[in-house]
Amino acid sequence: MPATTPRELGYRMPAEWHPHAATWLSWPRPDGVSFPDRYHEMLPTLGDMVRTLALHEHVNINVRNEEVEAIARQTIGDVPNVSYHHIPSYEPWCRDHGPIFVKHNHDLAVVDWGYNAWGGKYPPYDDDDAVPQRVAEVLRLPVFSPGVVMEGGSFDVNGDGTLLTTEACLLNPNRNPHLDKEQIEQCLRDYLGVTNILWLGDGIVGDDTDGHVDDLARFVAPNTVVTVVEQNPQDDNYQPLQDNLKRLRAMRDQDGSPLRIVELPMPGIIEYKGQRLPASYANFYIANSVILLPTYRHESTDMIAAQTLQQLFSDRQVVGIDSTNLIWGLGSFHCLTQQQPVA
C-alpha cells in the first residue's frame, strides 16, 4: 500500500527556531471584523513588525486586492525583502489559516488543515480556508489535506517529536465533533510527524480561540518551554495558569526527559471598551536572528519578559514592539505570522 501521510513519507514540522526561508502574513482589510474602530491605530504596529522582520528574512504578504496592497505598501514603506501576493483572506491571522510547512530532507510540503474561524465564530471564512492551497501554488509545493479543522496557533512543536496543545481548543466540539482525543492525536502524528503529544488545559481570559497554546506556553529549545504565570491570586487567569504550570512540571519529552520550565510574567489587565483582551508575552515570534515580542506599556513586566527571552535566545535579538492597539484584534505577532522553513 503506497504511503499517504506526511509521516509515512518522512516529513516532520520543524521547530520555529529552525532557519526560515520566509515569513508569511495576511494583511487585514479595512472592513474586517478584527479591528473595529481601531484599524488605522493598529497599522503602525504592523508596519514596525514587517520592517523589523524584513531586516532578517524575506516577508511574503497576502493581500486581498489592490486597495489592501496599497494600504500595506503605504504602511510599510519602500523596504527590501518584502513581496506581495494577491491571495485573499478576510482576516489577518495567518498562523491559523495559513499553510503549515513540513519538511523531509530538502523537500517541503504544505499541510492544509481545515479552517472554520475558531468554531464558526466569524463567517465568512472560505477565502481564509483557501490560503494554504494558494500559497502552495505560488511555491509549487505538494499539499496534504487531512480533512480536519486545526489552527496553527493551537499547537507548538519542538522539532524533535513533541507537540504541545490544549484540551480547551482541540477537544472543543466546535472544531471536530466527530473525532475523539485519540483520533485527533493520530492526525497530529500523521500530518506533523510528531510522536509525543502533551496536553495543557484552559486558555487565558479574552481568548476567542478557545485556548490557543501560543498564548500560554511555547517551546524555545528542544527540551525547554516558556509559560506565562499570573502572580495575582485574585486575577481570573491565576488558577488556569497555575494548573497548566503544574501539568508542565509533570511532562516529559519524546525521550522521557523532564521538560525545563521557564516562567514568563503576564502583563496585567489590558482592556478596551470594557472588554478584557488576551494580552500575553507568550505570543512572540521566533524569526531568523530576531524575536518579535509584544509589549503592553507595562514597563516592569515588559522588561522582565524581554530579559527572560534574551537569556534564552543568545543568538537572536529580542525586539519589543508595542502591541497595545494590535491586541484589540485578540491576537499579536505569533498569531499574524507563519514561518516557511529553509528547504
- pLDDT tens-place string over residues 176-191: 999 999 999 999 999 9
pLDDT of residue 1: 47
Q: Is residue 277 part of a domain?
A: yes
pLDDT band at 215 (very low <50, low <70, confident <90, very high): very high
- The mean pLDDT of 163-173, rounded to a whole number, is 98
Name the least confident of 2-6, 184-188, 242-246: 2-6
In a domain, 111, yes or no: yes
Which residues are designated catalytic? 335
CA 225, chain centre distance (Å): 15
The pLDDT assigned to 341 comes to 98
- Does residue 272 sit within a domain? yes
Contact 241, 277 (CB under 8 A): no
Contact present, 91 and 153 (Cβ < 8 Å) = no
Residue 4 lies in a domain: no
pLDDT at 141 over 70: yes
Count of the separate structural domains present in the chain: 1
Average pLDDT, the chain: 97
For residue 36, being part of any structural domain is answered with yes
Cell numbers at residue 250, please?
A: 509533570
Decide if 146 is inside a domain.
yes
Is residue 15, in this structure, part of any structural domain at all? no
Helix-helix angle 39-54:66-76, to 10 degrees: 70
Give residue 3's pLDDT band: very low, low, confident or very high (50, 70, 90).
low
**Beta strand 155-157 pairing with 143-144:** unpaired
CB 119 within 8 A of CB 125: no
Cα 206 to Cα 128, 226, 293, 327, 332: the distances in Å are: 22, 21, 19, 10, 13
Query: Which of 222-246 are b and which e, b meaning 16 or more Cβ less than 10 Å from the residue's Cβ?
Result: bbebbbbbbeeeeeebeebbeebbe
pLDDT tens, residue by residue, 84-133 = 999 999 999 999 999 999 999 999 999 999 999 999 999 999 999 999 99
Residue 136, domain member (yes or no) = yes
What is the reported pLDDT for 263? 98
Residue 168 parent element (H or E): helix 167-170
Out of 63-67, 140-144, 221-225, 272-276, least confident range = 272-276
Work out the pLDDT band at 165, boundaries 50, 70, 90. Answer: very high
Residue 318's CB: how many other CB atoms inside 10 A?
18
What CATH number is given to the structural domain containing 167?
3.75.10.10
pLDDT of 2 > 70? The answer is no
pTM score > 0.85 for this model? yes
Over residues 162-187, mean pLDDT: 98
Set of cell numbers at residue 316: 537572536
Residue reference for cell 504541545: 164
Q: What is the mean pLDDT of residues 223-247?
A: 98
Q: Domain residues for 183?
A: 20-341
